[in-house]
């Protein structure tokens, strides 16, 4: 049996059932004995706990890993300021699409280009009170 494993969803039934039946070692009481581990965020530890017990360590990630990259030269070309709200983002994206921000005289720009799906846009939408897309059907 492995001593350590990576768990993508610690709330999956097989993980929860395994923890409850003693298949995992509770590490929570030992974290205080290690200088770096004792500094782990208590809220995150609480979120990954099962029945109030910590069985693993979370992988730290910034709260926002995705975001927009906006061309400042295009903002300047159109006399726009960096967006500060969802409405601002909409207006900038619309202007980028319709007002020739690259100044080449052609209707050939896109206001928004996504690298892989709607991940970054979904995060920003949720942070601003929008509904979260769940699963492949958008439910």
**SS3 of 78-132:** HCCCCCCCHHHHHHHHHHHHHCCCCCCCCCCCCCCCCCCCCHHHHHHHHHCCCCC
Provide the residue range defining the domain that includes 114: 72-127
- E-strand spans in 1-107? none
Q: Are residues 78 and 54 in the same domain?
A: no
In terms of average pLDDT, the best of 10-19, 60-69, 110-119 is: 10-19
Per the structure, the count of domains in the chain is 2
The pTM for the full model equals: 0.48
Query: Is 7 part of any domain?
Result: yes
CA nearest neighbour of 136 among 111, 109, 117, 108:
117
Q: Is residue 119 within 8 Å of residue 125, measured between CB atoms?
A: no
Query: Is 67 part of any domain?
Result: no
Query: Is 16 part of any domain?
Result: yes
In terms of average pLDDT, the best of 50-59, 65-74, 129-138 is: 50-59
pLDDT confidence band for 36 (50 / 70 / 90): very high
């Amino acid at each position: 049996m492995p001593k350590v494993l990576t768990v993508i969803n610690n709330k999956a039934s097989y993980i929860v059932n395994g923890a409850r039946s003693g298949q995992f070692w509770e590490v929570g009481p030992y974290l205080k004995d290690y200088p770096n581990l004792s500094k782990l965020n208590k809220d995150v530890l609480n979120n990954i706990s099962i029945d109030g017990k910590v069985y693993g360590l979370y992988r730290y990630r910034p709260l926002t890993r995705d975001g927009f990259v906006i061309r400042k030269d295009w903002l300047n070309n159109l006399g726009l300021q960096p967006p500060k709200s969802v409405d601002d983002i909409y207006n900038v994206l619309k202007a980028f699409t319709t007002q020739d921000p690259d100044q080449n005289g052609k209707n050939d720009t896109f206001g928004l280009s996504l690298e892989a799906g709607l991940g970054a846009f979904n995060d920003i939408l949720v942070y601003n009170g929008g509904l979260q897309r769940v699963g492949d059907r958008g439910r």
